[in-house]
């Protein structure tokens, strides 16, 4: 689902075997409810000027145990403190 014009991602719980989600190059500003992913790739979102990529805190808590890779490169993120809930084995790009 990379390089489309996706603006919102939320509640993919029906996709029970989904473990990797590639959403780079879209227009997502807020990452909503996601669970049980091992990899989440959100690099290079086409954000409006002055916008930052944000995570719903509930999303981070639901991914804290399972997420191993989080790619948030090139997204105007200026504060990563909210990501502290992710386990130490999460690789941030």
pLDDT in tens, the chain (93 residues): 999 999 988 778 788 899 999 999 999 998 988 888 999 999 999 998 888 898 889 889 989 999 999 999 999 888 888 899 998 777 777
Q: Could you give the residue ranges of the DSSP H alpha helices within 5-90?
A: 57-63
Distance from CA of residue 91 to its chain's centroid? 13
Residue 46 to residue 49: CA distance in whole angstroms: 9
Q: According to the model, what pLDDT value does residue 73 have?
A: 93
- pTM (2 d.p.): 0.90
> What sign does the dihedral 38-20-32-70 (CA atoms) show?
positive
């Amino acid at each position: 689902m990379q390089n489309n014009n996706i603006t919102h991602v939320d509640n993919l719980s029906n996709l029970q075997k989904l473990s990797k989600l590639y959403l780079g190059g879209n227009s997502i500003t807020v990452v909503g409810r996601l669970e049980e992913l091992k990899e989440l790739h959100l690099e290079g979102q086409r954000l409006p000027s002055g916008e930052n990529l944000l995570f719903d805190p509930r999303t981070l808590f639901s991914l804290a145990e399972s997420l191993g890779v989080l790619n948030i490169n090139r997204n105007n993120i200026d504060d990563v403190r909210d990501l502290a809930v992710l386990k130490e084995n999460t690789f941030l790009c």
